[in-house]
Amino acid sequence: MTSTAVLPHAATSSGIAIREVTKSYDGTTVVDRVTLDLPRGGLTCLVGPNGAGKSTLLSIVARLLPADEGEVHVDDLDVTRCESSVLARRLAILRQEHHLAVRLRVRDLVGFGRFPHCGGRLRPVDVEHVDRALHYLDLEDLADRFVDELSGGQRQRVLIAMVVAQDTDYVLLDEPLNNLDMRHALGILRLLRRAVDELGKTVVVVVHDLNAAAAFADRIVAMRDGRVVAAGSPDEVMREGLLEEIFAVPITVERVQGRPVGHYLRR
């Protein structure tokens, strides 16, 4: 399980600990003193309007971007100080934007997910992880196709498969449902739920579909203007006044099969 080493700033319990994280661009603060604990285990949906700071925050947690101030720990790892290969075996991220310049086949790109574990030379155990990821993402028939010849949704599934193959305890996914049809979007949400429930993974997903968040998440974290403005169970966050404050549109919340569901009003 996790290391028992006690570090000066180690969180008292394991998980992702974000402390007073701030990021500015040209004098504009886009992540503003965010402090947030994401305990180990569980599925968190990160929601909020465009420009709220969701991607910036996730990128800082995954060390793709340096914070101006503040600290992030993933269990006992100080994200800014640990070796990148150590972090890559603990935490994987799917970015919102991808620039795939190289011509690769699906299976080879998914295999990149194993590099933190095997250093580029896939062992039989790595091939097993790749095969499993291809199966989970419904990509077996596309495994030998070139990624740049796939549809947008197929390509999105390949990128998710690469993250799944990395097989880390912590998984951050920035808008993984982009471009996906309903069947595949539901498939991903169910897959993430199973990864949490059966494998004990800790998953953080940025989604714009509030009802997907309410149906699948253990907790919802809402950001606006660089700040965390709400965090709690779906029942705690899916409240009409609060949602209107976050998204600046009127939303009606009803309960369907015991879960809160938000509707837009037509007016």
Ligand X SMILES: Nc1ncnc2c1ncn2[C@@H]1O[C@H](COP(=O)(O)OP(=O)(O)OP(=O)(O)O)[C@@H](O)[C@H]1O
Q: Give 167 or 174: the residue with its C-beta nearer to ligand X.
A: 174
Query: Given candidates 30, 82, 122, 127, which one binds ligand X under the rule CB under 6 A?
Result: 30
Report, in Å, the least distance between residue 218 CB and ligand X: 21
The interaxial angle of helices 182-199 and 152-166, nearest 10 deg, is 10
Tell whether residue 59 is a contact of Mg ion (CB under 5 A).
no
Q: Which of 22, 29, 80, 96 binds Mg ion (CB under 5 A)?
A: 96
- Nearest distance from residue 58's CB to Mg ion, in Å? 8
Among 50, 99, 182, 267, binds ligand X (CB under 6 A): 50
Shortest distance, position 51 Cβ to ligand X, whole Å: 4
CB of 224 to ligand X, least distance (A): 9
The minimum distance between CB 122 and Mg ion, in angstroms, equals: 32
Q: Is 218 left (phi over 0), alpha (psi -120 to 50) or beta?
A: alpha
Nearer to ligand X (CB atom), residue 134 or residue 188: 188
Residues 6 or more apart whose Cβ sits within 8 Å of residue 20: 33, 34, 35, 69, 70, 71
Kindly give the residue spans of alpha helices, DSSP state H, lying in 104-226.
Answer: 106-112, 115-118, 124-136, 152-166, 182-199, 210-216
- The closest residue (CB) to Mg ion is 55
User: From residue 32, how far is each of 11, 52, 250 by CA, in Å?
Assistant: 21, 10, 26
User: Of the ranges 13-21, 50-58, 138-146, 231-239, which one interacts with ligand X (CB under 6 A)?
Assistant: 50-58
Q: Give 2 or 179: the residue with its C-beta nearer to ligand X.
A: 179
Q: Which string of b and e fits 122-134 if b means at least 16 CB within 10 Å?
A: beeebeebbeebb
Here's the x/- map for ligand X, 114-153, by CB under 6 A: it reads as ----------------------------------------
* Residue of 15, 53, 176, 260 that binds ligand X (CB under 6 A): 53
With the CA atoms of 178, 161, 215 and 182 taken in that order, what torsion angle do they form, in degrees rounded to the nearest 10? Answer: 50
What does the alpha-carbon distance between residue 15 and residue 20 come to, in Å, rounded to a whole number? 16
Q: Measured between alpha carbons, how far is 233 from 235 in angstroms, rounded to an integer?
A: 5
Residues near ligand X (CB under 6 A): 25, 30, 48, 50-56, 96
